[in-house]
Structures are given as C-alpha cells and as structure tokens.
Chain A
Amino acid sequence: MSEKKQTCKDNIKKLKDILVAEDILVFSFETADGAACAAVYTDGMTDKALLGEQVARPLAAERAPENAKQAAKCLQVPECKEENDFTKMAEEVLAGNVALFIDGIGGALILGLKKISLRAIMEPPSSIAIKGPREGFIEDIKTNMSLLRNRLQTPKLRFYNLVAGKQSRTKIAVGYLDGIADEKTVQKIVKKIEEIDIDGIPDSSYVGKFLAERPQSLFKPTGTTEKPDVLAAKMLEGRVAILVDGSPIALTLPYLLTEDFQGAQDYFSSPYRASVSRFLRFFGVFLSVFLPAFYVSAQLFKLQLLPFSFLLTISGSIQGIPLSPGLELFFLLLVLEILIEASVRMPKYVALALSVIGALVLGDTAVKAGLVSSSAIIIMALSGIAAYTVPDLVGTVSVLRIAYVVVAGSIGTFGVLLLTALILYYLVTSDAYGSPMLAPFAPLIARDLKDTLYKASLFALDKRPKVFRGKNKTRLKRTGKKVENGQD
C-alpha cells in the first residue's frame, strides 16, 4: 500500500467516480484523534451492525493507525485485505464487501462484511429423496462450496475461482478432486470459462452452454445436480464440478448420457432393487419415445404390428375421428406439452380448476365429441408419464417423441429405424472432454456397465469408471484383498 499521505475524502471521491449508483453509501466517522474514516458499501448487501461493532467502534476508540497493517490489527474483522486498485475496490463493494478509507492511508481495506438474504438449505423439489440426504444447494456459491467441502473434507478438493460476465461479474468455482479428476479436463474447462465473454450469467445453464462442445445439440451438454451428496459422488467418480454464484444447480463434466439414469436412491437401496429401477428407467424412456411412433406407424403402414384383438379395438375407437392417426397423436402430444408448461407456471389456486378442465375437457369430452380416440389419449398419457422416470431427460425426450411421431407419420416404421440410426451415429461420435457420450455402451467399457446397465453391489464397484481416465482408479479397498493399481 502506498505510504503517501492521502485524505479520505480524495479516495471516496475517486471511488464514487466509479460507483455512481445511488445505493452505494458512505459511512463516515473519526478515530479518537480525529482522523477521518469512511466505509463505502452497498446498501442492503452489507452487515451494518458488524460494520459498527467491529469496524467503527474499535477505530473510534484508538488513535489513527499509521498504515494498513496497523489498521487491520485494530479491526476485529476476519476477512480483511488491502487494495490499492480502485476498480477492484469497486468490484468488492459491488460484491457486498466494505471499502474502508482512513485519512493518511492510501488505498483501502476491503472488509468481508457481506450479508445478503439467502434462502434456507432445503431439499430440492426436483430431486426428492425417499431415503438419503435431503440438503440441496442454494443460490450462494460460498454456501454451496461449504456444503461440498463438508462432504469432501480432503485437501485434494480443489477449486479454481473464476469470474465471468462483463456486467454481472458472476463468481464461478471449478471444483475437482486432485488426482481423481483428469487434469486435462479441468484445464480445458477452466480455459473455456475464462474465454466466456458475455454481459451476464443469470444461471449455471449459461455456463453449460459455453462449455458444450456441440452447442446446437439436442442432448444436454453437462450433467446437473442440486444435491451436494450427488455432486460429491460424481466428483469421486472423476468428474469436475462447476458451481455458479446465483444458481442452485451445479454442473458436472464430462457428461455421459447414462448418468441421468442413475438415481441417488440407487446407492442407498439394495442392488437388486436399484437394478430393477434402472431397467424401469431405460424402459420408461424407450416407451416414452417409441410408443407414440409405433402406434402411428402401425396404424398407417403396418397393421400387423397390432394384435388382431387390439387392432379391432383401436379400429372401433377411431371411427369418425377427423384427423389421421399421425396428426391426432401429434396434436395430443402438443396439448400435453402445453399442459405441462401451463401447470408449471400457473398459480396454485387455479391449478385444481385447470386440472379438471385438462382432464375432463381435453380428455373425456374430446373423446366423446369424436375429436380424438381414447386409445390415442392412453398412448399419449403413457408416454407422458413414462418420460418422468428420468426427469433430467424430459426435455430431450419430449422433443424426440414429437420428432419420432412426425417421422412415423411420414415414413413409417423404417423412418423410425432410420431416425434411431441417425441419433445413434450422432451419439456414438459425440465425445465431450475426452469422454464418449454413449459410454460405456459405445465404446463398450465392460467394467463400467456395472453401474449403468445394472447396479452392482457396493463392493463390486471398487474401481472408478474407466471412462474418466483419472490417475487414481481405486475407490474401495476390501480388507485382505490385493488391489491393482492401488493409489490413494
């Protein structure tokens, strides 16, 4: 810090020239010997009580300190650092900290007195646990980092603290476990975040888009979670975590398509139950995507796909329906999406009324009016419900099933197969951060199937997934068992 005597007034002026906003306030007071002091802070983001108690009162009782070090000793604030650059001072003030100026001391002391209103740590609504931890991330990055640190109390948990967003100056933390995560992946992520040039980052999904190797892709570019236990588990497998200030959703990389089929619950229940759940999830997504398409193509192109008795039932129910089977299901799926969109946004007090309208008017009455067939409604409902067996893929599945219905209605079963082939060609060649998206199926990594296709017992999962290529491969040692590649 410059030892050149500077007046507090000059410093405040310089800072206020940068921070012209009205909610930037100045709290002026004097030391015991009459030296002027001023604390610059953002209204509503600073703990004023602490400012008075731990900053103003000790200084008012002492003689003016001669330099910043003396001043810091005098104060009772644990987070205290010197800063001479007024631009950085401004950034700290905007972040909720206090810039303290004292007559005769150049620069400022930055005091960590940030205090903003935060919601409580609670269970995230999108991933409810029947058994297992219930805490979830909140919007504050420091809280989130502490939640993660609480679960991984190892010095190997490392963070790169970055800032992105020209206007928002959003804090981003790239967390990884040293030696477990692939170093190249970490560096690549850090580099990509550093290259972000955008005004603001309101949510972690923005960062996800910058990290995507194929931003136009229909499939998610990164894994997401709102739960510290899940994030910790993913990091222990070798993934890298990205926490973004202002977002309760943490991102993970590299992302594999199969990880969305793994539920936190799987690891707390028996492997048999978990394997059945996995199968149901795979089947649910399969059903959700393909059932409407096969229903349409069977009616339009291949009646043999339907058992004779079912064919007659369908045939009877669609008599007089004005739309072709393809259009009928296409519009029904659109209605389903509209209902979902509306139900997410509608106020709770009208939700019940609208549910009744949705169920009765759009369902029963539409069938009675001969606008749609009851079998099409059943197919739509089954497909809609089945998609929610894997909530993280609902967006993708919704788009895919409409695409499949269009293809089935235009080209038939072969079209469905061709679209499947196209998607598979796309997925098998989609590598992100060195990990193939469709691993461990393509390329086949037999060892990793133990926790994807089915869930093996805890003791069988003694190795970390091979696909992430971390140096430390072993995550579980059994007493008396010799471990290959054993590294801690």
Chain B
Amino acid sequence: MDKIKVRQICFFLAALMPAAKMLVYPTTLVYRSKNDLLFSALINFALEGGIVALTMLLAKKTKMTFFELISNTFGNVTAKIVYALFALFFFGAALLPLMEQKNFVMQVMYENVPSIIAFAPFFFVCFFACVRGFKSIGRIADIALPLFILSFAVLMLLAVPHAELGALLPVRGVPLKEVLKGSLYSVNWYTDGALVFFFLGHFEYEDRAAVKVLSSYAAGCAAVLLFLALFYGVFADIAVRQQNAIAQMSKYTTSFTSLGRVDLFFIFMLALVMIFRLCIPVQVCVHCVCRSLGVKPLIPAAIVSAALFGLTLFLNYSFLELQTLFTQKLWFVFLIFAYLIPAAALLLKRGERRA
C-alpha cells in the first residue's frame, strides 16, 4: 500500500515538482529578484537538492522510515509527536498552493466568476487520493510524467517566439540582498525535498538510485529555470502583474490563429498534473496523522480534506494576506521543517538494517 519505486520518485521530481512552481511563484520571485530571478531560484534549488541528496544517502544506509529512525533514537512517543508536527506542517504547506490553484482555476477555466462550488469537488478527489496511500503517488507520477512533458514542451515552444531573453540582463543588476530575500520568501514553494524525505523507508534503494533521483531533480530544476527565463523574457517589466504565469505565456502565439486558443488544452493538461501535485502534501499529511495516531487513513483523510475545504472557504478572499503570511513571516517554519529537521535526521541512530 505504501510502497513507491525509485523510478516513481524520479518522475515525481521531474514532473510534479516543477508543476507546483508555475502559478504564483514566478510573480512572487520577480517582485524581489526582478531579472535576477534565476539566481534566487538556483539558491533554493541548491538547498532543496541537498535535502534530496541527503534522503538518498539515508536510504542507502538504512531501510528505516523517518518514523522508525526517530523511534529508534528517541522512542515511539517522540516519533509520534514529530509526525504530528509534520502533519501540521504539510497541512499548512498545502494551503497556499491550494489557494493558488483555486485562483488559477477561476481565472483560466471560467469566464464568469462561479461560486466556490466549482472548486469544492477537488477536496473529494483529495480525500480519495489520501485513502489510496503512497502507491497512488508513485503510479500517478508515472501518469503525470508524459502529461507534463507534452504540455510543458508545447507551452514553452509557443512562448519562445515572444520571449526576449535579453530581458534577463543585466546579470546581478539587482542587489544581492534582494536576490536572497527572493529566495527566502519563496521557500514555501520548496517543500518537495521534505516530501521525498517522507518516502524514506517506503522504497527499495537500488543500484545508482541516488544518481537517478538527483538527475531527475536536476531535470525538474532545469524545466523550472527554463520556464522562469521564458516567463521573464515574455513579460519583462510587467512580469510582476502576471499571476498564473503558465497560462499567460503561450497565448500570444495562438490568439490570432484560426484554431484559437489551442494552448488552453495543454494548460488543462498541466492543470491535471497540478491537481496530482496538490494532493501529495495532503497525502503525506494524512500519512503522518495515521502514523502518529496509529489509525487507518479513512477518517484522517476525511477530516484533513474537510478542514482544508473549510479553510479555503474561510480564506476565500484573503489570498494576499495568506501569501504574505506564508512568504514573509512563516519562512522560518518552512526552513525548520523542510530543511533543518530532515538534515538533522542524518544524526539519528540508524540501528541495524532491516532485512
């Protein structure tokens, strides 16, 4: 039920990881880093890549899950507490992308503003996915990869004719402090390393697994960097206005063609990948709750999904406040949970390798 394959982790990093960074993230990055947005992104990727590498290192040395590692060192109760905290963390980490996705859906898929009812069924899908365990994450990653490659490639190709990469100049034109701030304030979009960390013990480390996973991560990073470069190339000084970036870049090529906005179909395809990506932190959250409380996923999945739905309703008109809170105030929480604690796991007692 909770097994995942190395190949599927690779696909997750190559396809699902970039999909989460194509809506509000570029705009937020541009706000601080302007044309130096690639440097900010690179800093984040380097840090997150470290966590992915660390996970693979641990996987090579032990077959234990994170829960078992903590339990082995500090006891079962501590492990349950840590998992409960991580459940809260992933719950929070899922919230902003959810709101992003909601706004994206409302803008791109509807012309007349509908009620929240249009987005509500997502939580049913999310609940269903949570019940299905890690196996569904892996297999969905198998499905997501070709969808992502096709849609991403088409959208980028459509954007290229309108992208002026000279807009990325001057290199280092933005003060380093602002670039670093750009990195720090976008750390909430870099929780994929933490997600991979929770796959620890759920996959069999195979020969050259670390190389495969890190190469896939590099491929995902390259996709994001390409996207960011083209995004800034297309919009330059008005990039900060372009929320839901991926939906904006390709229309200039298709608008005046007789077929119309064919790019929308590829945007929808990518939106499907985003739905899968959006479910993953919630699935990991439910996993943490289950391990923490020792229960089956059905009830936690229902409660977590319902709670997210309630919060989405409550925060329906507070996206900016939420974004400010997550990016500018709670960045340290993301640093602790997505980076420091996983890094500290290296110090935990690994004990004997399980057969």
Contacts and interface: CB of A to CB of B under 8 A. Distances in A.
B132 A304 contact: no
A421 B276 contact: yes
Contacts of A308: 260
B115 to A, nearest CB: 10
B198 interface: no
Contacts of A442: 139-140, 142-143
A307 B138 CA distance: 37
B35 to A, nearest CB: 31
A417 B271 contact: yes
A303 B135 CA distance: 38
Contacts of B272: 417, 420-421
A249 B65 CA distance: 48
Interface size class, chain A = 20 to 34
A442 B144 CA distance: 10
B124 A422 contact: yes
A70 interface: no
A443 B139 contact: yes
B140 A428 contact: yes
A425 B142 CA distance: 12
B257 to A, nearest CB: 8
B238 interface: no
Q: Which of B109, B140, B271, B272 has the most CB of A within 10 A?
A: B109
B117 A428 contact: no
Contact of B139 (A302, A309, A436): A436
A295 to B, nearest CB: 13
B275 to A, nearest CB: 5
Nearest to B105: A414
A304 B271 contact: no
A143 to B, nearest CB: 41
Contacts of A421: 125, 129, 272, 275-276
Contacts of B11: 444
Classify the interface of chain A: helix, strand, loop or mixed.
helix
Interface-central residue, B8, B11, B258, B260, by most chain A CB under 10 Å: B260
Interface string A439-472: 0011110000000000000000000000000000
Given A307-B258, A422-B128, A425-B128, A443 B109 contact: no
Given A412-B114, A417-B268, A429-B139, A305 B122 contact: no
A428 B122 contact: no
Interface string B216-241: 00000000000000000000000000
Given A428-B140, A443-B142, A305 B124 contact: no
B121 A418 contact: yes
A301 interface: yes
Interface string A283-327: 000000000000000000111111111100000000000000000
Contact of A412 (B5, B110, B133, B258): B110
Interface in B139-177: 139-140, 142-143, 145
Given A425-B129, A443-B5, A301 B112 contact: yes
B111 A441 contact: no
Contacts of A309: 258
24 contacts: A301-B109, A301-B110, A301-B111, A302-B264, A304-B260, A305-B264, A306-B260, A307-B260, A310-B260, A411-B117, A411-B121, A412-B118, A413-B110, A414-B110, A414-B271, A415-B118, A417-B272, A418-B122, A418-B275, A420-B272, A422-B125, A425-B132, A438-B143, A442-B143
List the 4 shortest-distance A-B pairs measured between CB atoms, nearest first. A307-B260, A428-B139, A442-B139, A442-B142
